[in-house]
Structure 1
Amino acid sequence: MTRLPDTEPPATEDGFDQLIHAPVRLRICAALNPVREIEFGALLTMLGISKSALSKHIALLTDAGYVTSRRAVRDTRQRLWLSLTRAGRSAYRTHVAALHRIVGDDRP
C-alpha cells in the first residue's frame, strides 16, 4: 500500500482528499460517518476484506487523525471499536461534497 508523503497534505483546496479517496478508506469513512462507533469485526464483515487490509487502512486514517479507536471487553472478549474523529468526519463530508462538485451535483 502506498503512503502519502508527509509533505503532501491529504486534501486539496477544493476539499478533495487523496487519503479518503482510496475505495476501501472511502467505504470505511462512509460506514463510520452516520454512527458513533463500529466494532472492528462488524466493519470487517461489512467491507468483506481481510483483517490485515482493514488494519492497514485504519492505521493510515488513524495516523491522519481521521479515525480513533478504543478497546473494550464485550462477551468476555477484547473488542476494538472505531469512530471518526471530528476532523475525520469533517474531511469525509468535505471530500463527498468535492465529489459531488466534480460530477456536477452541488449537493452539500
Structure 2
Amino acid sequence: MNRPRPATPTAPGAPLPAAGLDEFLHTPARLNICALLAPAEWVLFSFLRDSIGTSDSALSKQLTTLEQAGFVEIRKDHNVRRQTSVRLTDNGRARFDAYLASLEDLVARARGAADSAQIRSGQG
C-alpha cells in the first residue's frame, strides 16, 4: 500500500523548519550577548558594550530583559567605580546550549538539502 510520504527537508521545495529555535534568543542583540557570555564566568559590561558596538542604554535594556527572563545575573560592584559584571545563569546557559544545538541541526539539514539539490541537478 503506497502512503504519501511527509515532506522532508531534502524534498524539493520543502521548508526547513526552525523547530527548537528560541524566539526570545533569536534577536541579534541577545544572541550576541549570550555568545559573548557563554565561554566566560563573568564578563564586564564595558566589554559587552564595546564588543557588540552598542550604547550603554541599549545594552542595559537588553540585559534587563535577559535578567527578567532568567538568562543572566547582573552584579554591580560599587567598590570598583560602579563596575558591572554579567554572567549566564544555569538556566540561561542551558537554553543557549539548546538554541545552538537546534541551530546546528538546522544548518546540517540545510546543507543536506543543498547537497541533495546539487546531486539532483548533476552538480555534485
| TM-score normalised to structure 2 length | 0.69
Going by fraction, where is strand more abundant, 1 or 2?
Answer: 1
Cα drift, residue 15 of structure 1: 3.3
1:11 aligned residue: none
2:112 aligned residue: none
Instruction: Name the CA distance, whole Å, in 1 between partners of 2:46 and 2:74.
Output: 13
1:16 aligned residue: 21
> How many residues are matched?
90
Contact 1:44-1:51 at 8 Å conserved across structures: yes
2:64 aligned residue: 59
2:40 partner SS: coil
RMSD after superposition: 1.2
Paired residue for 2:94, among 83, 90, 93?
90
Q: Gapped runs of 5+ residues in structure 1?
A: 1-13
2:108 partner SS: coil
The residue identity in structure 1 corresponding to 2:50 is T
Q: Deviations over 1:48-96 (max 9, x none)?
A: 111111111111111110000111132xx11111000000000001001
